[in-house]
Amino acid sequence: MLSQIYYLLRSKVDGSYISANPNPDEAVKFLLLFQEDFDAHSYLNTHAPDLSDRFAIESIPTTQLKTILKRWDFQGVGVIQDPLLPSIEFLIIS
């Protein structure tokens, strides 16, 4: 069985993952996923060029995604559609 590979940005300082909270009135966190590693690089270089050396790009198969969501208390994922804008598709995972 083949699985999709996603790419995550993880802090080299504290090990946390880059996440989004689209509604600050709610305590809902979404793990940001990139479909390609170069999209993650583009996102960092566009939106935080001075901090890009503080993050590592990790690859993860979809089979491990639920484990990370549960361990880090994420309610869903935000799949980056365009890293330059950014355009994000949010999905709640139950």
Query: How large is the average pLDDT for residues 14-40?
Result: 93
Per-residue pLDDT reduced to its tens digit, 58-69: 999 999 999 999
Long-range pairs, 62-66, Cβ under 8 A, ≥24: 62/3, 62/4, 62/5, 62/6, 63/3, 65/6, 65/93, 66/93
Tell me what the pLDDT averaged over the chain comes to. Answer: 92
Query: How large is the average pLDDT for residues 10-38?
Result: 93
Task: Give the count of domains, the chain.
Answer: 1
The pTM for the full model equals 0.89
Domain that holds residue 76: 5-92
- What's the confidence (pLDDT) of residue 1? 46
Query: How large is the average pLDDT for residues 56-81?
Result: 95
Query: How large is the average pLDDT for residues 31-37?
Result: 96
